[in-house]
Structure 1
Amino acid sequence: MTLALYGHPFSSYTQKVLIALDENRIACEFRCLGPDQPQHTAEWLARWPLRKFPLLVDGDREVVETSIIIEYLQLAHPGPVRLIPADPRAALEVRFLDRFFDLHVMNAAQHAVDGALTGDARKREEGMALSKEKLERAYAWLEASLAGRAWAAGEDFSMADCAAAPSLFYADWTHRIADTYPTLRAYRARLLARPSFARAVEAARPFRPLFPLGAPDRD
């Protein structure tokens, strides 16, 4: 059975897994969740009632949570790009940064998105204020952490970069990375130029009107 991934092209966490699949040229059927393909939604909900995506299906095995999916792919479908290093200490750094981008960048930006989706002006303002506060702290930390590094954890592209690419993409739309963070801005640009992420960005382009804060005319 071919691998199958349930998700949506505009979803940051779906993109995180799509990058990992693309980096290692792993064949996978993409089952888009949306009103045009209700059968995919029905299958997804039957397989994972917690209603979170993406969901990877490999034969009889179902794998959820993006970091676990990427780790699973490296174990079950290894390719030329090792996204989690063999050295345990280096792997620990990658896993930490992966968590940092998911928890302190993507989830921080989500406060503004959630506030905007309510349609309530006060909640929109509160969500944006909270996102800006948290993102500024994350940007400042990353500016120092990324100094002298080509990728998040060093010279090699890793799972941390799979997480960083969509996280920084949408975070910058939410609260733009200021010119006072040149290292971070350059890193985001390198991620956008990476073919695996560039393809994910293009696939999601038709869905930009879904961004409730207003998708900018850039990237």
Structure 2
Amino acid sequence: MIKLYGHPFASFAWKVLIAAYERQVLFEFCMVDPDHPENQARMKALSPTGQFPALVDGDVEVTQSNAIIEYLDHVGNAPRLIPSDPKAALQARMLCDVFDAYIHHPMQRIVAESLRAEGQQDPRRPAEARVELDKAYAWLSTRVSDAFAAGKTMTIADCAAAPALFYADWVHPIPDGPLKDYRARILAHRSVARVVDEARPFRGFFPLGAPDRD
């Protein structure tokens, strides 16, 4: 059976969990935390930095969330997350990269700054990340469709968008408009809602304090 290594509250692990649920793939979830040292050790061997997620399927080992999603696209019975049409596939992969690079990473920089020791924090770093988020919010608001991120069906772009927008709105609220409406729609989607619910017990881990919503 496929094994997925990660943590239910980790944003990049969300991406592959959403894909697995959407594709109806059977898997064993291997929790990576101090209570499971064997999984921590395995994760260090699977990833250059020991950062999850990772997938193991027999002798196949895959790290990096987007590569894992593409692997999952070849198992399971549900519609694929990489469109068969080359132009549609390019659009989905492009938006996936945008959500990763311009929503996910700036959000994580804001969170990471709050974890720095007193005296080592620099308010310029989160301020710069917030500017990046504002630019990305505006750009994406003109491009997300009125259904899913890249059209009428769910794609890899939505797997990236859901966790990125979920946490980004916690640290730097998304203005009212198309992107915020899309966030609400994707969080209500069955496979995404399942991942959100599975992560609820861990919300106390959020360094900036989890808001009483979502």
Report the TM range for the smaller structure's normalisation: over 0.9
Quick check: 2:23–2:72 contact (8 Å CA) kept in 1?
Answer: no
Q: Which runs of 5+ in 1 are unaligned?
A: none
Q: Which runs of 5+ in 2 are unaligned?
A: none
Report the CA distance between 1:198 and its aligned residue.
0.8
Partner of 2:183: 188
Quick check: 1:19–1:197 contact (8 Å CA) kept in 2?
Answer: yes
CA-atom RMSD in angstroms: 1.4
Partner of 2:139: 141
The one-letter amino acid of 2:21's match is D
Equivalent residue runs for 1:102-121 within 5 Å? 102-120=100-118
Q: Which residue, out of 201, 207, 215, partners 2:202?
A: 207
- For normalisation by structure 2, the TM-score amounts to 0.95
Partner of 2:148: 151
Change (3 A) 1:124 1:36: farther
Q: What CA distance in whole angstroms lies between the structure 2 residues aligned with 1:48 and 1:122?
A: 28
Q: Percent identity?
A: 48
Q: What CA distance in whole angstroms lies between the structure 2 residues aligned with 1:136 and 1:120?
A: 27
Partner of 1:89: 87
Quick check: 1:116–1:127 contact (8 Å CA) kept in 2?
Answer: no
Partner of 2:130: 132
Partner of 2:165: 168
Report the CA distance between 1:7 and its aligned residue.
0.4
DSSP-derived class of the 2:29 partner: strand
Report the CA distance between 1:212 and its aligned residue.
1.1
The one-letter amino acid of 1:200's match is V
Report the CA distance between 1:25 and its aligned residue.
1.1
- For normalisation by structure 1, the TM-score amounts to 0.93
Q: What CA distance in whole angstroms lies between the structure 2 residues aligned with 1:7 and 1:36?
A: 13
Q: What CA distance in whole angstroms lies between the structure 2 residues aligned with 1:102 and 1:211?
A: 19
Partner of 1:5: 4
Report the CA distance between 1:213 and its aligned residue.
1.3
Report the CA distance between 1:79 and its aligned residue.
2.3
Count of aligned pairs: 214
Partner of 2:40: 41
Report the CA distance between 1:22 and its aligned residue.
0.1
Q: What CA distance in whole angstroms lies between the structure 1 residues aligned with 2:175 and 2:120?
A: 25
DSSP-derived class of the 1:145 partner: coil
Partner of 1:19: 18
